[in-house]
Structure 1
Amino acid sequence: MTGAFGEAVRRWRDRVAPETAGLPAAGQRRAAGLRREELALLAGISVDYVTRLEQGRASHPSAQVVEALARALRLSGTERAHLFRLAGLAPPGPETVPAHITPSVRRLLDRLAGTPVAVFDACWTLLLANPPYAALMGDPSEWRGDQRNAVWRHFLGPGSRTRHTPESLRAFEAALVADLRATADRYPADQRLRRLVADLRVNSERFAELWDSGAVDRHEAGRKTIDHPDVGPLTLDCDVLTVTGGDLRIMVYTAEPGTEDAERLASLTALGVPTLAG
């Protein structure tokens, strides 16, 4: 990789206004674009690594890092492919799980600024979460690698704030694993997905049992109770929208108007978390 990669990142960083990325624009700024620390936060990598990439002192960034930078910089599909080539990588093809968030999806999220919304790829890796979602489910801005994958977090990590009965837990786990298997069938050449499945099968007996059952299905969210540490339990409708052509999942949480749940959700939304967790 040459300095062209760092030059491209700097150039594209300068054109992203902080407010369009869900960041506060307060304080004196030498430029209208993102600061390095803001890009690092949005991409989920360290400021030092962003600095070394821009200065040409770091070589061979992974495909995951390039994808995260492209997402944080709001690159078009053509620009994203160019950034991959500058990194010496082939742009992701149809055999890999899509992770590109299109401008139309960005606009949809901008219009839902007061509603908890998160975007996942087809193997349930979190790509983007708006501030109300971070306030509801916990701030994911510090999550790295597999920590950002909902399947891994459920079976091997700390789980989530969602409350389950024994029956709902069994149904949830079966649907989640069946959905992941369906994704693996669609993208058999995706090495990251294959590594994730292998890790889960080795380290979680429950996952291995469900995976080996061979079930293939689509995970569809429904009504959920979230145990929030500050406002208490909230029972919310959770809808998952699939983006045609991109295989992205947009998760949206809403409350029935006029209920105590709606009041609690509104208080969380007002409090928020001051960054987009990308």
Structure 2
Amino acid sequence: MDETLGTALRRWRDRLSPLDVGRTVRPGRRAAGLRREELAELAGLSVDYVVRLEQGRATSPSAQVVASLARALQLEPMERDHAYRLAGLLPPQEGTISTHVPAGVQRVLARLGEFPVGVFSADWTLLSWTPAWAVLLGDPGARTHAERNLVRAVFATGPRGLAAWPVLNEGDVVNRALVADLRTALVDYPRDRGLIDLVAELRSTSTEFTRLWDEGAVGRHVSTRKIIVHPQVGEVTCDCDVLTVPGCDVRLVVYTVAAGSADAEKLEFLRVTNGVSANGPSPPTPGPFSTP
């Protein structure tokens, strides 16, 4: 019997331990792997759509859906490519930005549930996040793919701008580092159409981006202090660190607060009131891929 995307999804789901995605395994749990509901939640899909994929009734998932499932299932690169082919899609090509988040990084993320942590691709598009990130900065699952790009948010005006990212902009140092990152990414991924279009878009809409780009801006990310303006608790001051993963072109953005501080109390209040603990999230708002 030929393998289908549905049979592969069931096999990968059955082998993944709930502990690897930050779930607490309670006594009496029958499923050794992930339940469909848990996979749907992690991938930002509706449960009904996951059921239809596994049963072969949904046969044309988009590349974004397959990438989201691959991240949720912590697939290795060869398995991810196999999933694309089973879906009738071409795997990501050489010279394009990868949206793959290594399984080890995802396991680290699952164990950092109490901290706001986001995982970004080389073009600064948010790929994965902890529950605490969602309660502090807003649920990324409610945003479009374009709105999840941090560089666009920093330099764009209108609804795609920083209104969706409630972080006060620190100005030139961070902006230079972001522009420098995109310049490096364009050298590393010259065939990535999304990256090419992003640079062209920002050059045509942002005088600040154009100035830094034409100047050949260089810069690097350093530890900074950021102020997040949250509608429930007001200003929360956090230390922000950007961590790179050797051998993988993703970066982790980690927000921390000093223990016992007023900011720590605010963050804990947000976690508690939104049902978030270090053991995993409460069910989130369905993401943009909740329908095929």
Q: How would you bin the TM-score normalised by the shorter chain? A: 0.7 to 0.9
| Corresponding position of 2:216 | 214
| Corresponding position of 2:54 | 54
**Structure 1 residues 182 and 37 mapped into 2: Cα distance closer, same or farther (>3 Å)?**
same
| Corresponding position of 2:4 | 4
Q: Deviation digits for residues 58-79 of structure 1, max 9, x if unmatched? A: 4443333221110011222332
| Corresponding position of 1:194 | 196
TM-score normalised by L of structure 1: 0.82
Question: Separation in 1 of the partners of 2:129 and 2:252?
Answer: 10
Assess if the C-alpha contact under 8 Å between 2:21 and 2:110 holds in 1: no
Question: Separation in 2 of the partners of 1:36 and 1:203?
Answer: 42
| Corresponding position of 2:146 | 146
Question: Separation in 1 of the partners of 2:102 and 2:166?
Answer: 29
Question: Separation in 2 of the partners of 1:38 and 1:198?
Answer: 38
| Corresponding position of 2:290 | none
Question: Separation in 1 of the partners of 2:125 and 2:111?
Answer: 23
Alignment partner of 1:173 out of 172, 175, 199: 175
Letter of the 1:61 counterpart: P
| Corresponding position of 2:229 | 227
Assess if the C-alpha contact under 8 Å between 1:136 and 1:228 holds in 2: yes
Identity of aligned residues (%): 51
1:141 match: secondary structure? helix
1:124 match: secondary structure? coil
| Corresponding position of 2:117 | 117
Q: Which moved more, 1:105-114 or 1:65-74?
A: 105-114
User: RMSD value over aligned CA atoms?
Assistant: 3.1
Offset at 1:17?
5.2
Question: Separation in 2 of the partners of 1:79 and 1:124?
Answer: 24
Letter of the 2:247 counterpart: G
Letter of the 1:232 counterpart: G
Q: Deviation digits for residues 114-161 of structure 1, max 9, x if unmatched? A: 222111111111111111111111111222321221122332514111
Aligned length in residues: 274
Question: Separation in 1 of the partners of 2:205 and 2:30?
Answer: 49
| Corresponding position of 1:104 | 104
Alignment partner of 1:241 out of 240, 243, 249: 243
| Corresponding position of 1:73 | 73
Return 5+ residue gaps in structure 1 as ranges. none
Offset at 1:250?
0.8
Letter of the 1:186 counterpart: D
Assess if the C-alpha contact under 8 Å between 2:119 and 2:251 holds in 1: yes
Q: Which moved more, 1:153-162 or 1:52-61?
A: 52-61
**Structure 1 residues 276 and 124 mapped into 2: Cα distance closer, same or farther (>3 Å)?**
farther
1:161 and 2:166 matched:
yes
